Amino acid sequence: MTRWIAAAGAGVISLDSIINVAFPAMAAAFAEPPERLRWVIVCYVLTYSITAFVGGALADRVGHARVFLVGLGLTAVALAVGAAAPTFALLLGARILQGLGGGLVYGTAPGLATLAVAPGARGRALGFLNAGIGVGFTVGPLVAGVLIAHLGWRSTFYVRVPIALGVLAWAVAGLPTVRGAATRLVAAADVLRRAVLVPGALSFVANASIFSVWLLAPFYLVLVRGLDAVTAGLLFVLTPLGTAAAAPLAGVAADRFGARSPMVGGLVLEALGLLALSRAGATTDLPVIGGALLAAGVGVGVFQVPNMAEIMGAFGSAQQGAAGGFAFLARTLGVVTGVLLLAALFAARRDTVGLQPAFGEAFLVAGLAVGVAGAAALAVSRRPR
């Protein structure tokens, strides 16, 4: 039951993808330009990236279940505050609070998932966890269009409050409150190792680049293609759907063949999807766009599970909280960096070359970055240890 609860809690956090399709409506409601909406992502993701590592390390001392429960409680409160925020500034404050809760959940979920299984089954356990995360990412855009069209963007916050409370009640009833086993907090020497930093750097690049889809694709689909929120959500969902579908299979592959081959394959596929999106114009066939979005999502799903398994395997059993926290730290720092840089690139080029070419250039930069990461991963995997 523990891995189910861990996956459900992480799924609640990843359900935040529901607001990406709401960005155009939020921008209109607060009279903000598209690039300003990056702070809705940054305030949340930057907060939970740091909190995930700290919370995971703390969980090794005080118990993963305790920290996990606090995170779910903070998430429910933050969602209610965000739904009622009257100004853009207060919305950003709610997002910071939400990031604190999300980081505590993300930082402890990998440890909850892996501590109950043998090391040889770690990939499968993390595949199950990442599938739960992928389901949250998938369901969010799928229902967002309907909610926004009928109830407005605030409903994307309100609808998650009872879900978070439901999972919290399940976790209170089902998680064993076992105290952590670590005798000391994680030290710099535990992290500053090649076995940790290399997969962490690859995760940083992969997630920095995929958020060109999460940040810019909704605007491309609505502003350039003129699609309504429901249709845009159905297309956009192909990226997280691909990630969720690929995660369990990637976990099996990591346990059987090792982490490096699926990591390289995932990076290559993600790069191809992003490069295909960079060539999408105002008249590109929607099935072509959908195929590119799906390829990028599958690539991330194939990459992330073995990448997380490699990071978790570099730490001992008493430091699985810190290991999971570092995995999410690398992932989410990449997201923050990608959002800031790609949004700035898009804003600068939009006034020079126009809306649609600016989207293309942002996707091109993202695709090339992942391609370089794939080549680096291949070179590292061939180097004698």
pLDDT at 298 over 90: yes
pLDDT at residue 178, as a whole number = 61
Residues 222-239 have a mean pLDDT of: 83
Q: What is the mean pLDDT of the chain?
A: 88
pLDDT in tens, 329-363: 898 889 888 888 888 888 888 888 888 888 889 99
- The pTM of the full predicted model, rounded to 2 decimals, is 0.81
- Residue among 309, 339, 340 nearest 327 (CA): 309
**Angle subtended at Cα 142 by Cα 136 and Cα 145, rounded to the nearest 5 degrees:** 130
Query: In one letter, which amino acid is 220?
Result: Y
pLDDT at 62 over 70: yes
Give CA 94 to chain center in angstroms.
19
| Phi-psi map region of 280: left, alpha, beta (phi>0 left; psi -120 to 50 alpha) | beta
With contact defined as beta carbons under 8 Å apart, do 17 and 233 qualify? Answer: no
C-alpha span between 370 and 210 (Å, rounded): 9
With contact defined as beta carbons under 8 Å apart, do 279 and 356 qualify? Answer: no
Whose tokens are 């680049």? That residue is: 209
Residues 28-39 have a mean pLDDT of: 85
Residue 384, classified by CB atoms within 10 Å of its CB into exposed (0-12), middle (13-18) or buried (19+), is exposed
Residue 385: pLDDT band by 50, 70, 90 thresholds? very low
Among 44-48, 52-56, 115-119, 337-341, the least confident range = 115-119
Among 149-153, 274-278, 289-293, the least confident range = 149-153
C-alpha span between 16 and 154 (Å, rounded): 13
C-alpha span between 307 and 368 (Å, rounded): 20
pLDDT at residue 219, as a whole number = 81
pLDDT at 20 over 90: no
Tokens of 111: 């440890």
Between 191 and 74, name the one with better pLDDT: 74
Residues 226-237 have a mean pLDDT of: 81
pLDDT at 290 over 90: yes
pLDDT at residue 21, as a whole number = 76
pLDDT at residue 384, as a whole number = 47
How many Cα atoms within 13 Å fall on the side-chain side of residue 344? Answer: 7
Between 294 and 259, name the one with better pLDDT: 294
With contact defined as beta carbons under 8 Å apart, do 246 and 227 qualify? Answer: no
Between 215 and 168, name the one with better pLDDT: 168
Altogether, the residues listed in the chain come to a count of 385
Q: How many CB atoms lie under 10 A from the CB of residue 66? A: 18
pLDDT at 180 over 90: no
pLDDT at 145 over 70: yes
Exposure class string for 74-92: b at 16+ Cβ within 10 A, else e: bbbbbbbbbbebeebeebb
SS (H, E, C) 183-236: CCCCCHHHHCCHHHHHHHHHHHHHHHHHHHHHHHHHHHHHHHCCCCHHHHHHHH
pLDDT at residue 257, as a whole number = 84
Percent of the chain with pLDDT over 70: 96
- H or E, element range at 169: helix 160-174
